[in-house]
Amino acid sequence: MKRLLAFFSLCAIAFTAQAAIQSKAVHYEHEGAKLTGYLYWDDKVKGKRPGVMVTHEWWGLNGYAKQRAQMLAELGYVSFAADMYGDGKVTDKPAQAKEYMTEITSDPDAWMERASLGLEQLMKSGMVKGDKVAAIGYCFGGGTSLKMAYNNMPVKAVVSFHGSFPMPPEDSQLKPEVLILHGEADAFVKPEIVAAWKDKMTAKGNKFTFVGYEGARHGFTNPGAGEFGIGNLKYDAAADKDSWQQMQNLFKRIF
């Protein structure tokens, strides 16, 4: 009986801790598209705190992006999982995902306007402390975060997890810190592209931190990566753990 009571006590403690993480849907619009993002926060944390915007993979705002936003809230941040596609566009079909992504990235101005709107929803929560804001992203979201840095959006840092490598503009002088977490075996991103990106960033005097994971493929942070039927997508537990820690180390320093 004592063991049973102890078990239920532990369950109650775990439930209480989980219940402290709150979330709500946030509805907003851009150029006629109806967007729905999700705000996460720990209601045990009192007062304002740093905020982090999360941008999803090319599949759309699915459960994985929301899970990462919740994990950030568990670390004590206010997080916002932004919706970059709108109108409920979420898929597990690669061809459809490519169409969705191409639709938004083909118009760079609209792409960044939508990212800026996501950041705005985070700031409008009323829980973010001053300018203590960062942006992270996965796959397409990693490229989006980089573009946010190129446009010097009001974030202290951006973090790209197995993201794309849009080249910085010729006149780029970046204010946000940049952290790149990349799978060295990612067949979607050729080594020469990574090398060219590094060279261009360095030539412009833009500082960045690049962490490469030997043997890690695209999607290395996503436990469900192998379910999409693409050989280049594979979860890597070690790379996932280390990359998440690299992000935390950065946030502890800048916040």
CA atoms within 13 A on the CB side of 165: 23
Residue 17 lies inside a defined structural domain of this protein: no
On the question of pLDDT at 44 being above 60, the answer is: yes
Considering the chain, what is the average pLDDT of its residues? 93
* Nearest-angstrom CA–CA distance, 112 and 114: 5
Q: Locate 82 and state its tokens.
A: 């932004």
Residue 170: pLDDT band with limits 50, 70, 90: confident
Q: Locate 115 and state its tokens.
A: 């990212």
Residue 3 lies inside a defined structural domain of this protein: no
Residue 42 lies inside a defined structural domain of this protein: yes
Residue 138 belongs to domain spanning: 22-254
* Nearest-angstrom CA–CA distance, 221 and 138: 9
Q: In this predicted structure, which of 13-22, 165-174, 201-210 has the lowest mean pLDDT?
A: 13-22
Residue 60 lies inside a defined structural domain of this protein: yes
* Nearest-angstrom CA–CA distance, 254 and 51: 12
Residue type at 200? K
Q: Locate 175 and state its tokens.
A: 């204010």
**Whole-number Cα distances in Å, 254 to 25, 50, 110, 172, 247:** 28, 10, 29, 22, 11
> Looking at residue 19, what is its pLDDT?
54
Q: Locate 154 and state its tokens.
A: 């009001």
Average pLDDT of span 21-41: 97
**Residue scoring higher pLDDT (203 or 114):** 114
On the question of pLDDT at 152 being above 60, the answer is: yes
pLDDT tens digit sequence for 54-68: 999 999 999 999 999
pLDDT tens digit sequence for 7-23: 434 444 444 445 599 99
First to last CA, the chain: 47
On the question of pLDDT at 162 being above 80, the answer is: yes
* Nearest-angstrom CA–CA distance, 111 and 211: 26
Residue 1 lies inside a defined structural domain of this protein: no
Residue 12 lies inside a defined structural domain of this protein: no
On the question of pLDDT at 31 being above 70, the answer is: yes
Residue 247 lies inside a defined structural domain of this protein: yes
Q: Left, alpha or beta for 127 (phi > 0: left; psi -120 to 50: alpha)?
A: alpha
How many Cβ atoms sit within 10 Å of the Cβ of residue 92?
13
Helix (H, G, I), strand (E, B) or coil at 43: coil
Q: Name the domain count of the chain.
A: 1
Q: In this predicted structure, which of 6-15, 54-63, 94-103, 182-191 has the lowest mean pLDDT?
A: 6-15
Residue 29 lies inside a defined structural domain of this protein: yes
Strands 33-42 and 78-82: antiparallel
How many residues would you count in the chain?
A: 255
> Looking at residue 197, what is its pLDDT?
96
> Looking at residue 202, what is its pLDDT?
93
CATH number of the domain bearing residue 28: 3.40.50.1820
Beta strands in the chain (DSSP E): 21-30, 33-42, 49-55, 78-82, 128-138, 157-161, 177-183, 209-213
Average pLDDT of span 111-120: 98
On the question of pLDDT at 2 being above 60, the answer is: no
Q: Return the C-alpha torsion angle 86, 88, 92, 95, nearest 10.
A: -50
> Looking at residue 12, what is its pLDDT?
47
Q: Left, alpha or beta for 83 (phi > 0: left; psi -120 to 50: alpha)?
A: beta
